[in-house]
Amino acid sequence: MSQRDSGYERKERDLYETPEWVTRALEPHILNPAIFHIWEPACGSGKMVRALESMGFTVHGTDIETGADFLERDCEPVAYEAIITNPPYVLATEFIEHALRQPVSTVAMLLRTDFDHAQSRSKLFAKCRAFAKKVVLTKRIKWFEDSKGQPSFNHAWFIWKHGHCGPPVLAYAP
Ligand SMILES: C[S@@+](CC[C@H](N)C(=O)[O-])C[C@H]1O[C@@H](n2cnc3c(N)ncnc32)[C@H](O)[C@@H]1O
């Protein structure tokens, strides 16, 4: 996710670490007894991995920085029940498409809240039967602890569940 709190240059490879409260906001929406193992495929320093582990999930984190290009990898059947990440903004569409091709029941991506507005992305949202829920974060994410500026963007968790029935649900957090 590309972010620019005032006064900061964009980080190389979009290495923005997700604060713990943001990952925790996802918890009630993935508390599904069928999810035990999660793949975090753009884990950076592992902040989201640790937050998910603290919720009791077993999490495998990989990142291109340590040689694992998510877009070049497929997961083994039954290895994971969910793929959850904050993808690099410039590759977010490719990350969602690739994740939805994997043999997992659930995909959750942290994205800018208007990511689902574009007509060009309707195949991932309005026209995607697996698109199950949007969890709007009612607080803005401060990406840098010591940032003096105010965050510019709103974010939401977008959740796809294979086998989901009906229209997507809208929820608010925290
Ligand atoms: C926005 S950061 C998210 C870090 C972590 N998920 C978090 O939320 O704290 C995006 C991460 O994606 C990684 N990345 C960029 N392109 C990638 C790719 N093709 N495959 C895997 N990781 C990639 C970057 O190295 C960076 O660590």
Task: Using the mean position of ligand 1's atoms as its centre, give its distance from the Cα of residue 72 in Å.
Answer: 14
The Cα–Cα gap between 127 and 121 comes to 9
> Hey, which of 1, 3, 14, 115 would you mutate to test ligand 1's pocket, going by the most ligand atoms within 8 Å of its Cβ?
14
- pLDDT given for residue 95 in this prediction: 98
* Mean per-residue pLDDT of the chain: 91
Q: Whose CA is nearest to atom 19 of ligand 1?
A: 69
What confidence tens digit (pLDDT) does each residue in 52-83 have? 999 999 999 999 999 999 999 998 888 999 99
Question: 37-40 and 82-85 as β-strands: parallel, antiparallel, unpaired?
Answer: parallel
Looking at ligand 1, which atom is closest to the CA of residue 2? 1
Task: Using the mean position of ligand 1's atoms as its centre, give its distance from the Cα of residue 153 in Å.
Answer: 19
pLDDT class of 47 with cuts at 50, 70, 90: very high
Cα 65 to Cα 24, 100, 102, 137, 158, distances in angstroms: 25, 23, 22, 28, 25
Kindly report the pTM of this predicted structure.
0.92
The Cα–Cα gap between 28 and 133 comes to 12
pLDDT class of 11 with cuts at 50, 70, 90: low
Determine what percent of the chain is predicted with pLDDT higher than 90.
Answer: 79
> Cβ-count burial of 85 within 10 angstroms (0-12 exposed, 13-18 middle, 19+ buried)?
buried
pLDDT of 152 > 90? The answer is: no
Pocket of ligand 1 (CB under 6 A): 1, 13-18, 41-44, 47-48, 63-65, 69-71, 85-86, 88, 91
- pLDDT given for residue 8 in this prediction: 46
- pLDDT given for residue 13 in this prediction: 61
- pLDDT given for residue 6 in this prediction: 41
pLDDT class of 148 with cuts at 50, 70, 90: confident
Looking at ligand 1, which atom is closest to the CA of residue 41? 21
